[in-house]
């Protein structure tokens, strides 16, 4: 069974969309989305520097647009399951037919703006911890006042909190943790610091008319398959201030019988986790259009279910 996944914020790099815009129809599609949400996605995906695309209000719609463009380039594919990490859940909702592309981008634009406003209230950030025992790490983070905002599995937990708390973590790592790596994000996402964004996103969601997923949609709130479009949207709203449990998503992929996993552009993060946590599952990251042929071969081999 094939699983299609979408990465979250921090996966973006300057110019990463450039080769994708050479594909037939891609530039036109991106221009239409840009007009719909009032953001020049082509500029940010091809010309803007790292600081510009680190802005939450820019990074989030840019990542969803990249995921949708690269998935469309695969052609007609029906995965057995879909999931997304953090903002990638909106991309996955479009894959599953819960939202159309324009609705997904309109929602993520509002999400990015709301989370940027929430992040501006207090200087906060996120850091990835590599290695160590999960229980020991979580207890240490809580002692420092930090939140385990992403429990990613494969020996990785992401801590979120104020810059002072993250500095204290750098100076006092949990036992067994090899490295602490600051992430390219501009706030403590999936924590109580994002509570103001939940209200704004709930209001934005009132304008949506979601359909029920046409493929298995796995939520990163708890790794559960969600069958109702309304429930998917409700989870998208609340998840802004709740921890991401990607470890549970990967457990669900395994239970569903996943044999292959493709991560849409800008791929790499989730396939890296899957290689360590899902032995025997073939993985492929869509980084550039050069990866499309290999992805199509994987789709042909592993099918939909």
Does the pLDDT at position 304 exceed 60? Answer: no
Q: What is the pLDDT of residues 123-177, one digit of tens each?
A: 999 999 999 999 999 999 999 999 999 999 988 999 999 999 999 999 999 999 9
- Spell out the residues 6+ positions from residue 301 whose beta carbon is closer than 8 angstroms to its own: 260
Give the pairing of strands 156-162 and 124-131.
antiparallel
Catalytic residue among 34, 70, 86, 219: 86
Q: What is the pTM of this model?
A: 0.94
Q: List residues bridging with 261 in a β-sheet.
A: 3, 283
pLDDT of residue 305: 43
pLDDT of residue 5: 98
H-type alpha helices, the chain: 26-37, 41-46, 50-54, 56-73, 88-95, 101-119, 134-143, 163-171, 195-205, 229-238, 246-256, 269-277, 292-302
| C-beta of residue 180 within 8 angstroms of C-beta of residue 170 | yes
pLDDT of residue 208: 96
d(CA 125, CA 82): 28
Active site residue 190: yes
Neighbours of 114 (CB within 10 A): 23
Give the pairing of strands 2-6 and 81-84.
parallel
Q: What is the pLDDT of residues 188-230, one digit of tens each?
A: 999 999 999 999 999 999 999 999 999 999 999 999 999 999 9
pLDDT of residue 223: 97
Average pLDDT, the chain: 95
pLDDT mean over 243-247 = 96
> Dihedrals φ, ψ of 172, to 5°?
-140, 75
Q: List residues bridging with 129 in a β-sheet.
A: 157, 180
Q: What is the pLDDT of residues 72-114, one digit of tens each?
A: 999 989 999 999 999 999 999 999 999 999 999 999 999 999 9
Secondary structure of residue 2 in the 3-state scheme:
strand
Distances 27 to 46, 99, 227, 281 between C-alpha atoms, Å: 11, 21, 33, 33
Q: What is the pLDDT of residues 124-139, one digit of tens each?
A: 999 999 999 999 999 9
Does the pLDDT at position 180 exceed 90? Answer: yes
pLDDT mean over 25-30 = 97
Q: Which domains does the chain have, with CATH numbers?
A: 2-120+191-302 (3.40.366.10), 124-182 (3.30.70.250)
Distances 9 to 126, 168, 204, 270, 300 between C-alpha atoms, Å: 11, 24, 20, 12, 30
Catalytic residue among 190, 193, 219, 302: 190
pLDDT of residue 150: 94
Q: In what order do the strands lie in the sheet with 124-131?
A: 147-153, 156-162, 124-131, 177-182
pLDDT mean over 261-276 = 96
Task: Indicate the DSSP class of residue 187.
Answer: S
Does the pLDDT at position 53 exceed 70? Answer: yes
Half-sphere exposure (Cβ direction) of 169: Cα atoms closer than 13 Å? 34
- Chain-centroid distance of CA 214 in Å reads 20
pLDDT of residue 10: 87
| C-beta of residue 142 within 8 angstroms of C-beta of residue 94 | no
């Amino acid at each position: 069974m094939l699983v299609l996944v979408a990465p979250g914020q921090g996966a973006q790099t300057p110019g990463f969309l450039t080769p994708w815009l050479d594909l037939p129809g891609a530039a036109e599609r991106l221009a239409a989305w840009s007009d719909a949400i009032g953001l020049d996605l082509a500029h940010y995906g091809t010309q803007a520097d790292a600081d510009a695309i680190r802005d939450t209000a820019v990074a989030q719609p840019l990542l969803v647009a990249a995921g949708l463009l690269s998935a469309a380039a695969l052609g007609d594919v029906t995965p057995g399951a879909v999931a997304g990490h953090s903002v990638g859940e909106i991309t996955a909702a479009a894959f599953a037919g819960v939202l159309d592309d324009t609705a997904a981008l309109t929602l993520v634009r509002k999400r990015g703006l709301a989370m940027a406003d929430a992040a501006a209230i207090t200087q906060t950030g996120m850091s990835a911890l590599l290695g160590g025992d999960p229980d020991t790490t979580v207890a240490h983070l809580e002692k420092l006042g930090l939140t385990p905002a992403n429990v990613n599995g494969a020996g990785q937990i992401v801590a979120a909190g104020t810059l002072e708390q993250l500095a204290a973590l750098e100076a006092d790592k949990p036992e067994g943790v090899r490295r602490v790596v600051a992430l390219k994000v501009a706030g403590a996402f999936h924590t109580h610091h994002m509570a103001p964004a939940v209200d704004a996103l709930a209001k934005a969601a009132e304008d949506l008319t979601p359909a029920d997923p046409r493929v298995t949609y796995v939520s990163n709130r708890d790794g559960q398959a969600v069958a109702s479009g309304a429930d998917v949207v409700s989870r998208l709203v609340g998840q802004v201030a709740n921890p991401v449990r990607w470890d549970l998503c990967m457990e669900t992929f395994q239970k569903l019988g996943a044999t292959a996993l493709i991560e849409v552009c800008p791929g790499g993060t989730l396939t890296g986790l899957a290689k360590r946590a899902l032995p025997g599952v073939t993985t492929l990251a869509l980084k550039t259009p050069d990866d499309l042929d290999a992805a199509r071969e994987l789709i042909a081999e592993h099918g939909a279910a």
